[in-house]
Homo-oligomer: A and B are copies of this chain.
């Protein structure tokens, strides 16, 4: 299934990281915006053109060293139809460069609606993605239609388990009761553990060539104890790890996501990489090269804890 291709790309690049393409306008260099606005106007069309130009420059620098990109749908939808066009062009371009595409859309619905989302993102015609992030608050009904599409189209999903944000514990850390009718198992578990167990079960329907199946889990770098615990409990679940860098997660924090072969996780950085030129304070024309330098730095930082990655 689809995460096999991600794993193979990670091994090839020896880089278990993914660049989040979250192009909010304030991160895009002025020279790109100005050129687009001069040609198309300072309107959604001009903004969307700037977004695509920005992304294309990043992809051109990064595709040789980074296995995957993770465009965040919200930043494209914020520009309406023109933004969605920029999303389509971005994914088509990243695909043409051989990158694995994780559409970060956190979709989740039931029955024919979930089928329609699966068609949209994983069906291969509307939008180009190799994997999709999914919110499974609705339970199995909200996940099975995605899995069915993954099966026929060689795609994967990442289900939110323990998210990286400060308030993720409000619901996800709640401990469920032992011996109550709705949770007959003896052990008391947190909500995120229940979700992790479901993810592992769903994954059995999408076996992979290597250790990991096609139903991954989103587990935040900001919660190292939970990463460790979930890695031990979910040996066949691949982790998408947000929260590195800007949100405070360190390479050491997330090291436990990886197995002895250096597999098992891919770490996301969004603005840390795409807006590296701001932090470097270099010429903004140099934004893509700054992203390259930061991607290398991030790779080396993580690889200190991972060692050689092999299948």
Contact surface of A with B, Cβ cutoff 8 Å? 22, 24, 44, 72, 74-75, 77-81, 83-85, 88, 106-114, 116-117, 119-121, 123, 125-127, 135-142, 160, 163, 165-178, 180-183, 188, 190-191, 194-195, 198
Contact = CB atoms under 8 A, between A and B. Distances in A.
Contacts of A106: 107-109, 135
B174 A126 contact: no
A142 to B, nearest CB: 7
How many copies are assembled? 2
Given A137-B135, A165-B138, A126 B78 contact: yes
B110 A80 contact: no
A182 B177 contact: no
Contacts of A44: 125-126
B172 A110 contact: no
B183 A78 contact: no
A81 B75 contact: no
Nearest to A113: B74
Given A78-B123, A107-B106, A138-B163, A175 B170 contact: no
A139 B223 CA distance: 15
25 contacts: A22-B112, A24-B116, A74-B109, A75-B116, A78-B116, A78-B123, A79-B126, A80-B120, A80-B126, A81-B81, A83-B120, A106-B108, A106-B109, A138-B168, A139-B168, A169-B182, A174-B176, A174-B182, A174-B194, A175-B177, A175-B182, A175-B183, A176-B176, A176-B191, A177-B178
